[in-house]
Amino acid sequence: MFTIEEVKAHCDIPCGVYDPGAAQYAALSIIRFMDLINEIPDSVPSDKDNLAKFTRLVQQKEEHVVIAKNEVTIIWGDYFKEPQIEKHLGVHELVHSIMIDGSKCKQGLHREDALSLLDKINQFAEMFWATKEIETEKKISSYAPNLEIVVPVLKSA
């Protein structure tokens, strides 16, 4: 009948399944990739193995920045409606700031930019869970770079 070339969507039904955890994981990964990149000796241009490692790490860093930004914008654009925005008036500025930090992470290798990105994504996660009246807590991630993330308090069944 007709041909569909390509379709992409999170779920514009809306499905109601949103979680900032993927953005937090991506932000932690960005920090880890930056750490690994900065551990590579300065001899990269003359060492092909290190050059290959450097190239892969930069590529993964870039991909995870896109993941972090996409996950936040999906929740912000699809989930945050007037009632949530009224309770969290700073959400627009926070999301814009996350986008700026994400761009800084793509442009450079400064760990402080990635730490700022994670901090703001954690603020966004706290805001998101508050809209659902779900209590949160701060936990240290169980994998490198072992940094603090905001997670929902899980209830026993």
Give the C-alpha distances (Å, rounded to integers) separating 85 from 6, 80, 89, 128, 138: 32, 6, 5, 10, 23
Q: Which domains does the chain have, with CATH numbers?
A: 21-40+48-152 (1.20.120.400)
Residue 9 is predicted with a pLDDT of: 47
Burial class (CB in 10 A: 0-12, 13-18, 19+), 128: buried
78-120 pLDDT, tens digit per residue, is 999 999 999 999 999 999 999 999 999 999 999 999 999 999 9
7-24 pLDDT, tens digit per residue, is 444 455 556 689 999 999
Phi, psi (degrees; rounded to nearest 5) at 9: -165, 155
Closest C-alpha to 38, from 61, 60, 56, 54: 54
29-57 pLDDT, tens digit per residue, is 999 999 999 999 886 667 888 889 999 99
pLDDT, averaged across the chain: 91
Residue 11 is predicted with a pLDDT of: 52
Threshold 0.85, pTM exceeds: yes
